[in-house]
Amino acid sequence: MSCQVMHLGLVFTTAVIKSRQMALHKVFVYGTLKKGEPNHFYFTNKANGYAKFISAAETVKRYPLIIDTQYNIPFLIHKEGVGHNVIGEVYEVDDTMLKALDGLESHPDLYSRLEDHVRILNVKEVSSEMQPVLKCWIYFILNLEKDIGSSFLSEYHSEGPHGKSYVRREKNVDYTVLKHQLHCKE
C-alpha cells in the first residue's frame, strides 16, 4: 500500500520517501571526537547529520594508540596485538554524519575507516537488544613505517598527563605532509 505526499509541489510515493532514508552506522571514536574533547562538536552540529551516543567501549583487539605530528593528533595504528584495548565511545550516525567524519579524518588520504569489534563497557546503559560486542567503523592509520616505540596510550585525553595538547589545524592541511611526518607508505 502506498500513499502520495506533496512536498514543494512535487508528489512522492511512500516507497520513494523510504528509499531516501539514510542508513545508520556504528562508529567507535577514541580521540578528539569523544565527549569533552576538542572535536566533539562535530556530533552536536546538526548540519553534519545525525549522531547518537551509544556507550563507552573498548577495542576487542589490542592496538597502539599514539600522539604524533606538530598538531598532537591521536592516531590508532592498525597493528593488531600491540598496545592496549583502547577505550573510546560508540556513536550511531547517519550517512551524512559519516561523510562529515570522513572529511574530518581525511579518509582515505590519511586515516582508513575499517570495521572492527568493540566491547561495550556500560552494558546497563544500553538497550536490552544491544549486544555487548559490536562491529563498528574505526579510523586507523595503515602502513606505518615509523618506529612508534613501546609506550602506548590506552585512552586519549587532549589535556592528559602526556603533555601533548591537541593543536587545532587549519582546514586546508596537506595530508601528504602529515603522512610523511608519520612515515606512512603511500
Please give the average per-residue pLDDT across 68-85, as a whole number. 94
- The Cβ of residue 41 has, within 10 Å, a number of other Cβ atoms equal to 10
CB 45 within 8 A of CB 18: no
Residue 143: what pLDDT?
85
**Confidence band of 179 (pLDDT split at 50, 70, 90):** low
**Is pLDDT at 182 greater than 90 in this prediction?**
no
Residue 60 pLDDT > 70, yes or no?
A: yes
The reported pLDDT for the residue numbered 172 is 58
Tell me the C-alpha distance between 148 and 186, whole Å: 18
Q: Which stretch of 61-70, 82-91, 125-134 has the lowest confidence by average pLDDT?
A: 125-134
The pLDDT value recorded for residue 145 is: 81
| Closest by CA position to 76, among listed 25, 24, 136 | 136
* pLDDT tens digits for range 145-175: 888 888 899 999 999 999 999 998 766 566 6
3-state secondary structure the chain: CCCEEEECCEEEEHHHHHHCCCCEEEEEECCCCCCCCCCCHHHHCHHHCCEEEEEEEEECCCECEEEECCCCEEEEECCCCCCECCEEEEEEEEHHHHHHHHHHCCCCCCCEEEEEEEEECCHHHCCCCCCCEEEEEEEEECCECCCCCCCCECCCCCCCCCCCCCCCCCCCCCHHHHHHHHCECC
Predicted local confidence at residue 180, as pLDDT = 67
Phi and psi dihedrals of 93, rounded to 5?
-135, 155
Residue 179 CA to residue 186 CA, distance in Å, equals 8
Provide the percentage of residues in the chain whose pLDDT is more than 90: 63
Give the predicted TM-score (pTM) of the model: 0.82
- How far apart CA 63 and CA 103 sit, in angstroms, is 23
Mean pLDDT over residues 122-127, rounded? 64
What tens digit of pLDDT does each residue of 7-44 get?
444 443 333 334 346 799 999 999 999 999 999 999 99
Give residue 123's pLDDT.
63
User: Which amino acid, 38?
Assistant: P
Q: Which residues are catalytic?
A: 105
